[in-house]
Amino acid sequence: MRQNQDARLKLTQKLNKTELLIQRTNSLESGVIELKNDLKQPDDIKNQTGKELAVVEAKFQAEKEKSGGLEDQLNQKETDFAQEKVSFTDLLKTKAVQSFEGVLRSLRRVYDGVAKWHVRGTAVAP
C-alpha cells in the first residue's frame, strides 16, 4: 500500500507540474499572440495612414483641378478684357477722329463764310 500511496503522490506531483507547465505554456502563447498583435499594429497604422494619405492626395488633386479651372477662367477673362479694351480704345479713337473731323468741317464753313464775307467786303469798299 505504501508503494501505491507513493506512486499516487508522485503521479499527483507530476500532474501538478504538468498543469503548471500547461499554464506557463498557455501564458507564453498568450504573450506571443499579444506580441504578434503588437507587431501588426504598425502595419495597421501604416495601412490606415496610406488610406488617409490617398484621401488627402485625392482632395488635393481635386482642389488643384478646381483652381486650374479658375485660373483658366481668369486667363480667359483677362484676354476678353484686353480685347474689349482694344475695341473700346479703337471706338474712342474713331469717335474722336469723327468729332475732330466734324469740328474741322465746322471751322472750314466758318472760315469759308468769313472768307466770302471778307471778299465781298473788300469788293464793295473800293
Which pLDDT tens digit goes with each residue over 77-120? 999 999 999 999 999 999 989 998 999 999 999 888 887 877 77
d(CA 24, CA 87) in angstroms, rounded, equals 93
For residue 18, what pLDDT is reported? 92
Mean pLDDT of the chain, nearest integer? 86
- For the entire predicted model, the pTM comes to 0.40
Could you say which DSSP state residue 51 is in? H
Cell numbers of 17, please? 507540474
Report CA-CA distances (Å) from 6 to 13, 14, 19, 20: 10, 12, 20, 21
Residue 71: pLDDT band (50, 70, 90) is: confident
pLDDT for residue 126 is more than 90: no
